[in-house]
Amino acid sequence: MTFCYDYARPAVTTDIAVFTIQDQRLAVLLIQRGGEPFAGHWALPGGFVEADETLEACALRELAEETGIQGVWLEQLYTFGNPERDPRDRVISVAYFALVPMASLNPRAGSDAQDARWFFIDDLPELAFDHRDILDLAQHRLRAKLDYSTVAFSFMNETFTLGELQTVYEIVRGETLDKRNFRKFVKSLNLVEDAGATRRNGTHKPARLYRLIQPGHLHYIR
């Protein structure tokens, strides 16, 4: 079956940059492409928008199909429409980004991709298409959003220590923070509560565990 139109139409895809924290470093989920173009190259998960789905539904579906990751929070990042960005055809891509808790999800390769795995953001392979540009913009946006929202909490597991949360801020911002000032900041948000338990992490004092009062809510601060 073919679909015919009076004017040329671009293909429309979504691509998704999923971030997490692994081994104290920022990591992103990539798939290895099975088919042309860029066969064998690593790329962001994503694919073509179907006739009756929203853009966000497309991103969620492709993410699930290609990596097994489900039910994440997505934010639209930017739409990339350079006519040369796909060598074969005119393809416009609506890019999304997502944050998932530290190491909570084990990606598995889906039907459309040979492989799916996490890469450290500062140690990336060569990427297909303009996906490097998309990732750079996503990382930039993530950093900016840290300052005026509670995105960073999306990296946390259900319960977490303030030390872990501080580490996330330090990794994304690329600088160390003062412990006392950071804890003052977190407590002033009034968004976390004592989970009533502690966690032993090594040969030292156990840390108090906290949880979000409204899990899944993104708040704007400042």
Interaction site with its own copies (CB under 8 A): 1-12, 48-55, 76, 78-79, 81-83, 90, 92, 94
Rounded Cα distance between 171 and 92, Å, is 32
Total binding residues for DNA by CB under 7 A? Answer: 21
- Report the nearest approach of DNA to the CB of residue 216 (Å): 24
Site string for DNA, 143-172 (x = CB under 7 A): ------------------xxxx--------
Using the rule CB under 7 A, is 9 a contact of DNA? no
β-bridge pairing 25-33 and 192-199: unpaired
Using the rule CB under 7 A, is 179 a contact of DNA? yes
Using the rule CB under 7 A, is 205 a contact of DNA? yes
Neighbours of 152 (CB within 10 A): 20
SS3 assignment, position 211: strand
β-bridge pairing 74-80 and 46-48: unpaired
Of 41 and 219, CB closest to DNA: 219
Rounded Cα distance between 92 and 76, Å, is 14
Q: Choose among 73, 93, 87: nearest CA to 36.
A: 87
- Report the nearest approach of DNA to the CB of residue 120 (Å): 21
Work out what residue 181 binds among its own copies, DNA, none; the CB cut-off runs from 5 to 8 Å by kind.
Answer: DNA
Work out what residue 111 binds among its own copies, DNA, none; the CB cut-off runs from 5 to 8 Å by kind.
Answer: none
Which one-letter DSSP state was computed for residue 50? Answer: P
- Report the nearest approach of DNA to the CB of residue 171 (Å): 14
Torsion of CA 86, 89, 94, 95, to 10 degrees: -20
**What would the two tokens of residue 77 be?**
């990042």
Q: How many residues does the chain have?
A: 222
- Report the nearest approach of its own copies to the CB of residue 84 (Å): 9
Of 53 and 147, CB closest to DNA: 147
Of 28 and 165, CB closest to DNA: 165
User: What b/e string do you get for 84-104 counting C-beta neighbours within 10 Å, with b at 16 or more?
Assistant: ebbeeeebbbbbbbbbbbbee
- Report the nearest approach of its own copies to the CB of residue 196 (Å): 38
Binding site for DNA (CB under 7 A): 161-164, 178-181, 183-184, 198, 200-208, 222
